[in-house]
Amino acid sequence: MPDPYTDIWVVDSPFGAGTRLSFQGGQAPPNKHYVLIQHKGLYVKRLSFIPWTSIPANYRAIMAEKYRRLPAATNEPVHH
């Protein structure tokens, strides 16, 4: 049974542009707590769990290594 992932900020560029997504996926394997996502708008086509070290440095520079809950989506466009 897939796990739900709700209000996850998906970074689309190393400048911080992205999309807030909710989707279902498998459970993260040990040491692979990040997800590489192929999506178009709000539709998630596929995902792959990856370790922090597999994320390119220019993306890691704008990401938090520890999970932080996103603030409420009040007055936020659906797609950035």
pLDDT digits (tens, 9 = 90+) for 35-70: 999 999 899 999 999 999 999 999 999 888 887 777
Average pLDDT, the chain: 87
Confirm if 40 and 18 have CB atoms less than 8 A apart. Answer: no
Does residue 2 register a pLDDT over 90?
no
Does residue 75 register a pLDDT over 70?
no
pLDDT score of 77: 59
- The answer to pTM > 0.85 is no
Confirm if 14 and 62 have CB atoms less than 8 A apart. Answer: yes
**Residue 37 forms beta bridges with which residues?**
47
Radius of gyration from C-alpha coordinates of the chain: 13
Task: Give the span between the Cα atoms of 51 and 58, in whole angstroms.
Answer: 15
Q: Which among 39, 23, 21, 19 is positioned nearest to 79, based on CA atoms?
A: 19
